[in-house]
Structures are given as structure tokens and as C-alpha cells.
């Protein structure tokens, strides 16, 4: 998967992907605004995304087959695009979670012992 590989070096991008995948895996279909709100709430407003940067990521993940999207009605009956995770997306999530774990563990170890 050339696209995923290309972006996996970009840690920040990879983090955003990871957060999006995780959010959708645990919460089911959501629209982009809902994803933003969810991430902000859970991180106690620590992770404040530049909200516009979410959408290229959502579309890229959709084309990579990790997400699928369809138009639906929002809570206040507006037309909104809803994203949900696919089987391939769950696999990617597992991988990224594992590598995130390794990374944070490695960083933590360095911080502890340095």
C-alpha cells in the first residue's frame, strides 16, 4: 500500500489517521465534525486539530479502503457525509496501534533511563 507507506513516515499524519480510525472503530459511523468533537473531548481539548486538515485525511483513508463513506442526515437534519471503518481499516488500526505503542514505549524508555 504505497500511499499508506508514504505517509507513515510522517508521524503527525500517521497520528491523525490512528485517531480517526480508533474513533470510528469504537464509536461507529460519524461525520467529520463529530470526529473532531470526539477527539477534542477525549483528549480534554489537548489535541486541537486544525479542523480543515481532517478532510484530506478522511478522503485519503476512504480511497485506501480503510474507510467507507455515505451521505446521510445529521442530528439536526442537515445533509452530512458519514464515515465508517472497514475490515481493512481495522487491520490498519491494529498495526498502527501496535507501532504507536512501540514508539511511545521506546520514547518513554529513553526518557526514563536517559
Partner 1 sequence: MAWTERLINVLRRSSLDAEIDAELQFHIEQRTRDNIEAGMPTDEARHDADLRFGGRLRAHEQTRDADVLVWLETIGQDVRYAVRNLRHSPAVTGVIVASLALAIGASTAMFSVVNAALLRALPYADSDRIVMLWTANLLNGSMEQNTSVPNMEDWKARARTFEDMAAYRVSQGPLIDRMQSGFDTEWIRYVTVTDNFFSLLGRSSAAGRVLTREDFSSGERVAVVTHSLWQRRFGGSADVIGKRVGLGGLDVEIVGVMPDGFWFPTKDVQLWMPATLDPAWQRNRDNRGTRFGIVFGRLVRGLTIEHARAELRGVAAQLRRQYPTENADLDVNLVPLHVQVLGRRVPFMLEMLFGAVLCVLLIACANVANLLLGRGVARRREIAVRAALGAGRRRIARQLLTESVLLSCAAGCLGLIAAPWSMGALIALAPPNIPRLDEARIDIPVLLFTLGLSVVTGVLFGLAPAVWMSRGGSEDLTRQTTRNSALGTSARMRGAFVVCQFAVALVLLAGAGLLIRSLLAVQSVDSGFGDLRVVMAHLRFNNALPRERRTGLYQGAMDRIRQLPGVRTVGAIGTMFWDGDGGKFGLRAVDGHADTPRDQWESLTWTTVSGDYFQALGVPLLRGRFFRDTDTRNAPPVVLINETMARRYWPGEDPIGHRIKGFDARGTNDEWVTVIGVVKDVHSRGLDRAPAAQIFEAQSQSLDETENLVVSAATSGLPETLRRAIREFDPTAVLSDVSTLDDRLVEQSAQRRFQTYLLTAFAVLALLLAAAGIFATMHYWVAQRTQEIGIRMALGAERRTVVAMVFRETLVLAVAGVGVGVVGALAATRTIASLLFGLTPHDPATFAAVSLGLTAIAIIACCIPAARAARVDPMLALKIE
50: contact with partner 1 by CB under 8 A: yes
36: contact with partner 1 by CB under 8 A: yes
Choose which of 31, 38, 39, 85 interacts with partner 1 (CB under 8 A).
31
DSSP the chain: -HHHHHHHTSHHHHHHHHHHHHHHHHH-SEEHHHHHHHHHHHTTT-S---GGGHHHHHHHHHHTTSEEEEEEE-TTS-EEEEEEE-HHHHHHHHHHHHHHHHHHHHHHHHHHH-
Give the DSSP H or E segment for 69.
strand 67-73
Minimum Å distance from CB 22 to partner 1?
16
DSSP 100-113: HHHHHHHHHHHHHH
Minimum Å distance from CB 93 to partner 1?
10
23: contact with partner 1 by CB under 8 A: no
Choose which of 27, 28, 51, 73 interacts with partner 1 (CB under 8 A).
51
Binding residues among 53-82 for partner 1 as defined by CB under 8 A: 53, 55-60, 62-65, 68-69, 74, 76, 78-81
Residues that bind partner 1 (CB under 8 A): 1-3, 31-33, 36, 48, 50-53, 55-60, 62-65, 68-69, 74, 76, 78-81, 86-88, 91-92, 95
Amino acid at each position: 500500500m504505497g500511499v499508506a507507506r508514504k505517509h507513515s513516515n510522517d508521524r503527525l499524519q500517521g497520528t491523525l489517521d490512528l485517531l480517526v480510525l480508533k474513533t470510528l472503530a469504537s464509536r461507529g459511523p460519524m461525520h467529520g465534525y463529530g470526529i473532531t468533537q470526539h477527539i477534542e473531548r477525549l483528549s480534554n481539548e489537548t489535541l486541537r486539530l486544525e479542523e480543515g486538515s481532517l478532510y484530506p485525511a478522511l478522503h485519503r483513508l476512504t480511497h485506501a479502503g480503510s474507510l467507507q463513506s455515505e451521505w446521510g442526515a445529521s442530528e439536526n437534519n442537515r445533509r452530512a457525509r458519514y464515515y465508517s471503518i472497514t475490515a481493512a481499516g481495522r487491520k490498519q488500526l491494529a498495526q498502527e496501534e501496535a507501532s504507536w505503542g512501540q514508539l511511545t514505549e521506546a520514547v518513554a524508555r529513553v526518557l526514563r533511563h536517559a
